[in-house]
């Protein structure tokens, strides 16, 4: 019966790192609208910055990020020049009294930057934005890139959280996804980061990879637990070769089926909880003292384009090619192609090419979907207090879904809609019930488990 449920509820749906999701962005949001939105930010608005480095010195075949491989550093240097220009242009449009409370370097591989370029990029950001003294600085790290000089540079920029992609330590799986990375390398990076004062380490594990078995995944999970990272993200591999052509290098026949994927996920989650980690949403785990676990306990957990977060900023400003951000008025995305991104920055300072202006109904549904993804439910009273004009209609949808639910995914408890233990792994599927845009058919998504 469980297998049949998994098969039936695994239809592709969005990951809901935003609502509406990126396929609904359009060209009505461009540089002028974006500049106007930036200008409305004031001293009371806390800012979160995301700086995208769309280059890697190797291309992992599982990756669905906007990135490209380069063995030459010249394209990276040219890109950084444009990124500095965009940072300055955006900084001129934003109130300098608005504090930056978080900065995330993502990619690609930010750690492939030369040490002096890392320091110069952080310096450029500090020259154009006002950072809070306790701002969190997180960096996505590839252990294959790192050496002592780069570790020292990361310490110099004030990195507070190191985020390491691990995926799987099994050599056969690593070869199949073109990601060779030993446990010893990874342990060395964790130790080097902690020796330089980094207070939080995150590790990413993937399930559903080619040639992955319950046994090999269990070995990887045990190895990761031995590093005692503060946070662990347990993601399902998203096979989307229609979007990312390099994923065609992965042998589809070697991928585990939907039921096997679900079993892998359940086993890994069980191991992590048994090791003392608290389950956060659908795919994150954290030690009890970590701020992400605290946010999950007190109801302040949020979801943005990087996944689950305790970041309480009012605006997320994405910088760099393909970067996505969210301002109070809506979403925006920069030009993904690096060459065109650089041309646009050179001509006008900003490179926004599409986005979405939120309606009041969007905000109401975004609240509900975020709470389903973060808290596995929502309060009708909270919905009515925040979005009174749409509370009755959404409440009726929730009650209607609960009444028709034959699988025991959810229930109504007093004035609260909540997922059951059976329904929690399928939170994306339940969240889709409240997605008024999904029926438009825009975009293709990864499977829900």
Tell me, what's the pLDDT at 436?
Answer: 95
3-class DSSP string for the chain? CHHHHHHHCCCCCCCCCCCCCHHHCECCCCHHHHHHHHHCCCCCCCEEEEEEECEECCCCCCCCCCCEECCCCHHHHHHHHHHHHHHHHHHHHCCCCCEEEEEEEEECCHHHCCHHHHHHHHHHHHHHCEEEEEEEEEEEECHHHCCHHHHHHHHHCCCCEEEEEEECCCHHHHHHHCCCCCHHHHHHHHHHHHHCCCCEEEEEEEECCCCCCHHHHHHHHHHHHHHCCCEEEEEECCCCCCCCHHHHHCCHHHCCCHHHHHHHHHHHHHHHHHCCCEEECCCEEECCCCHHHHHHHHCCCEEECCEEECCCCCEEEEECCCCEEEECCEEEEECCCHHHHHHHHHHHCCCEEEEEECCHHHHHHHHHHHHHHHHCEEEHHHHHHHCHHHHHHHHHHHHHHHHHCCCCCEEEECCEEEECCCCHHHHHHHHHHHCCCHHHCCCCCCCCC
The label of the residue with tokens 């954290």 reads 286
- The model's pLDDT over 183-214, given as tens digits with 9 standing for 90+, comes to 999 999 999 999 999 999 999 999 999 999 99
Q: Count other C-beta atoms under 10 Å from residue 390's C-beta.
A: 20
Residues 6 or more apart whose CB falls under 8 angstroms from that of 372 comprise 378, 419, 427, 430, 431, 434
Determine contact, residues 264/207, Cβ cutoff 8 Å.
yes
Average pLDDT, stretch 104-114? Answer: 95
- Interval 407-426: pLDDT, tens: 999 999 999 999 999 999 99
Q: In this structure, are 239 and 388 located in the same domain? A: no
Whole-number pLDDT of residue 66: 73
- Asked whether residue 381 falls in the same domain as residue 323, the answer is no
Same domain assignment for residues 309 and 247: yes
**Whole-prediction pTM:** 0.94
Domain total for the chain? 2
Residue 83 lies in a domain: yes
d(CA 426, CA 10): 8
Locus of tokens 């046994």: 215
**pLDDT, tens digit (0-9, with 9 covering 90-100), for 58-103:** 877 777 777 788 889 999 999 999 999 999 999 999 999 999 999 9
**Residue 414 in domain:** yes
More confident residue, 131 or 63: 131
Domain end marker among 280, 312, 327: 327
Q: What is the pLDDT of residue 314?
A: 96
Question: Are 420 and 282 in the same domain?
Answer: no
262: domain CATH number is: 3.80.30.20
Classify residue 343: in a domain, yes or no. no
| Structure-block tokens of residue 54 | 């769309």
Among residues 312, 327, 342, the one where a domain terminates is 327
The reply to whether 388 and 259 lie within a common domain is no
Distance of CA 378 to CAs 317, 360, 415, Å?
Answer: 28, 18, 9
Residue where the block lists tokens 């009371």: 44
User: pLDDT over 70 for what percent of the chain?
Assistant: 98
The per-residue pLDDT for 240 is 77
**What whole-number distance in Å separates Cα of residue 38 and Cα of residue 172?**
48
Q: Within this chain, do residues 132 and 255 fall inside the same structural domain, yes or no?
A: yes
Token pair recorded at residue 273? 């909880």
- The confidence score (pLDDT) of residue 446 equals 59
Pull the structure tokens for residue 135.
Answer: 């701002």
Please, which residues have CB within 8 angstroms of residue 16's CB and are 6 or more apart in sequence?
Answer: 303, 369, 370, 373, 428, 431
Residues 408 and 263 in one domain: no
Pick from 443, 411, 437: nearest CA to 424: 411
For residues 212 and 277, state if they share a domain.
yes
On whether both 385 and 299 belong to a single domain, the answer is no
Answer yes or no: do 113 and 154 share one domain: yes
Task: Give me the chain's average pLDDT, please.
Answer: 94
Task: Tell me whether residue 149 is in a domain.
Answer: yes
- Asked whether residue 444 carries a pLDDT value surpassing 60, the answer given is no
Query: What is the distance between the alpha carbons of residues 45 and 307, in angstroms, rounded to a whole number?
Result: 21
Which pLDDT belongs to residue 250? 86
Q: Quickly state the pLDDT bin for 132 (edges 50, 70, 90).
A: very high
Mark whether 115 and 203 lie in a shared domain: yes
| pLDDT 10s digits, 299-326 | 999 999 989 999 999 999 999 999 999 9
**b/e sequence 26-51, b meaning 16+ C-beta within 10 Å:** eeebbbebbbebbeebeeebbbbbbb
Q: Is the bond preceding residue 20 a cis peptide, omega within 30 degrees? A: yes
Within a domain: residue 179? yes
In a domain, 354, yes or no: no
Q: Decide: 448 and 427 in contact? Cβ < 8 Å.
A: no
What lies within 8 Å, CB to CB, of 298 at 6+ separation is: none
- Domain holding 392: CATH number? 1.10.10.920
Domain containing 387: what range?
360-440
C-alpha 79/C-alpha 193 separation (Å) is: 27
d(CA 60, CA 203): 17
CB within 8 Å of 272: residues ≥ 6 apart:
221, 225, 232, 234, 279, 285
Q: Are residues 225 and 175 in the same domain?
A: yes
Tokens of 80: 């950084």
5 in a structural domain: no
The domain boundary residue, chosen from 327, 347, 368? 327
In a domain, 21, yes or no: no
């Amino acid at each position: 019966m469980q297998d049949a449920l998994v098969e039936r509820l695994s239809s592709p749906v969005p990951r809901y790192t935003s609502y509406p999701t990126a396929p609904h962005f359009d060209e009505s949001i461009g540089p002028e609208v974006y500049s106007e939105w930036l200008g409305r930010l004031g001293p009371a608005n806390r800012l979160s910055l995301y700086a995208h480095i769309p280059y890697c010195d190797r291309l992992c075949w599982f990756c669905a990020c906007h990135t490209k491989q380069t063995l030459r550093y010249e394209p990276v240097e040219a890109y950084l020049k444009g990124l500095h220009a965009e940072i300055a242009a955006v900084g001129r449009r934003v109130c300098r009294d608005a504090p930056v409370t978080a900065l995330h370097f993502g990619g690609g591989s930010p750690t492939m930057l030369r040490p002096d370029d890392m320091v110069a990029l952080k310096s450029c950001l500090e020259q154009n934005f006002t950072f809070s003294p306790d701002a969190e600085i997180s960096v996505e790290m590839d252990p294959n890139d790192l050496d002592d000089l780069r570790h020292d540079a990361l310490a110099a920029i004030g990195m507070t959280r190191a985020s390491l992609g691990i995926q799987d330590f099994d050599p056969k799986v690593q070869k199949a996804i073109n990601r060779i990375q030993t446990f010893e390398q990874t342990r060395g990076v964790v130790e080097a980061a902690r020796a330089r004062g980094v207070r939080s380490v995150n590790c990413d594990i993937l399930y559903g990879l080619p040639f992955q078995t319950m046994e090999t995944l269990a070995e990887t999970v045990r190895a990761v637990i031995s590093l005692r990272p503060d946070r662990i993200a347990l993601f399902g591999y998203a096979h989307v070769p229609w979007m990312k052509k390099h994923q065609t290098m992965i042998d589809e026949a070697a991928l585990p089926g939907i039921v096997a994927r679900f079993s892998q996920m359940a086993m890994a989650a069980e191991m992590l909880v048994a090791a003392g980690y608290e389950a956060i949403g659908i795919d994150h785990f954290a030690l009890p003292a970590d701020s992400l676990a605290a946010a999950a306990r007190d109801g302040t957990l949020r979801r943005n384009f990087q996944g689950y977060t305790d970041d309480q900023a009012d605006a997320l400003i994405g910088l760099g090619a393909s970067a996505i951000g969210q301002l109070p008025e809506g979403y925006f995305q920069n030009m993904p192609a690096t060459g065109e991104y650089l041309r646009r920055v050179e001509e006008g300072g900003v490179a926004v090419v599409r986005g979405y202006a939120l309606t009041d109904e969007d905000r109401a549904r975004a609240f509900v979907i975020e709470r389903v993804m973060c808290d596995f439910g929502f309060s009708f009273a909270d919905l009515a207090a925040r979005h009174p004009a749409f509370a009755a209609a959404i409440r009726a949808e929730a009650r209607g879904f609960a009444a028709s639910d034959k699988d025991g995914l959810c229930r109504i408890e007093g004035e609260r809609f909540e997922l059951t233990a059976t329904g929690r792994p399928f939170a994306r599927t339940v969240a889709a019930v409240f997605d008024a845009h999904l029926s438009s058919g825009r975009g293709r998504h990864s499977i829900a488990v």
